[in-house]
């Protein structure tokens, strides 16, 4: 079984993910642009796959009625996106130690992307986000 180690910049939040991860999805929504300062790269896992080693500095922000975002209260690293009541937890790909073995699968909320960057890859680009866009992964 594959084990991925992950943490924030200061290591106040550390965790292991056991098993397969969803391919990386690039999110261009306005919340990700503001949270990350750029579009975001997220993988995802079922919550039961996560083994917490330290949650000492983990903070949550309700970014909408349906979702919340997890970040480190010390170093400020953005780490998670979670649909409230959902089985999965989206995890920033950059928080996972290399080699990740991950690959990108596509872009969501692409209509919202900012004018200061170009996206030149050939990955699929979706107007919004839905589970039908990425049928190979089931949370």
Assign domain 3-128 to a CATH class: mainly beta
Residue 21 has pLDDT above 90, yes or no: yes
Tell me if 75 sits within 8 A of 7, measured CB to CB. no
Distance CA 22, CA 136 (A): 9
Find the mean pLDDT for residues 4-32.
Answer: 96
pLDDT at residue 139, as a whole number: 43
Residue 108: pLDDT above 50?
Answer: yes
Q: What integer pLDDT is reported at residue 137 of this predicted model?
A: 52
pTM of the model: 0.91
Alpha carbon distance 6, 93 (integer Å): 9
The b-or-e profile of 52-80 (16+ CB within 10 A means b, else e) is eeeeebbeeeebeeeeebbbbebeebbbb
- Domain range annotation of the chain: 3-128
């Amino acid at each position: 079984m594959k084990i991925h180690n992950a943490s924030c910049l200061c290591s106040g939040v550390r965790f292991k993910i056991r098993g397969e991860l969803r391919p990386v999805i690039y999110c261009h929504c306005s919340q990700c642009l503001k949270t990350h300062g750029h579009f975001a790269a997220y993988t995802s896992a079922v919550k039961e796959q996560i083994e917490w080693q330290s949650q000492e500095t983990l903070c949550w922000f309700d970014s909408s009625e349906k979702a919340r975002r997890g970040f480190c209260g010390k170093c400020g690293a953005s780490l998670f996106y979670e649909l409230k009541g959902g089985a999965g937890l989206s995890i920033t790909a950059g928080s996972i130690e290399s080699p990740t073995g991950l690959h990108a699968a596509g872009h969501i909320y692409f209509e919202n992307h900012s004018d200061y960057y170009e996206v030149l890859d050939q990955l699929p680009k979706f107007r919004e986000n839905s589970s039908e866009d990425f049928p190979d992964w089931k949370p």
